[in-house]
Structure 1
């Protein structure tokens, strides 16, 4: 089977109503030849601010947060892309940068989060392959649920 995974690390600093988050990830893709190669590198820097605490009387420790992030994605140089069936003349690497505004509504056990990804820069200096990696607008809405403290994974 082909591998498609994105391991990474997150560093977060929280102080009163503000937060700063830095993350780094790498996407690993399995190739038909049987080896795994690094496909892209993702980075992100996000600033968050807590607008309100205890919004709902029924939910303890609820909060409403706004965040603004800057993220980047860099396609790594891999000359083993079998699906292209052509020689690549690589003058550079494809890079994209995005601004990510969003919100989160958090309670003690769950977070509802929404974000929109707006492309602000793209360099696809990799020959004819740029048609494979165009600007991408994304809207995301998700929910995180925290297990009770007495349950250990």
Structure 2
């Protein structure tokens, strides 16, 4: 649950010792490690609010435990899972400090670091910065557009009268 900025020196030394500096693997491992605790916290809080009686009713109707999980609990938990996916994806996509610290070559740097590299000391080409910023926004908008229907459908799925 530490902020990535507080552990940058230790992360750099660890990935240097493992030979993973300037690799996409280093960024994936670091982002997964920092976002996993938040995702588990959101999903466990959301699934804890689902009544156990719904699973018991499904098992009384002949469903196995895994069938009740797949047919009742998972559709009800979908808004919480989608929320965790949205937050962790946006956090990983917008990560700047880890990308700046763990990568050096321009072809492996994330888009946020690439946009920062467009800013010069004495000149700035705003048109390129704005175009790159627009490109950076598009995947987040597409992710939300694809996942948004799961949030709305999961709110009413399997409710009790």
So what's the TM-score if we normalise by structure 1? 0.31
* Structure with greater helix percent: 2
So what's the TM-score if we normalise by structure 2? 0.30
From the CA coordinates, give the structure whose radius of gyration is larger: 2
Higher relative contact order, structure no. (Cα contacts within 8 Å, ≥ 6 residues apart): 2
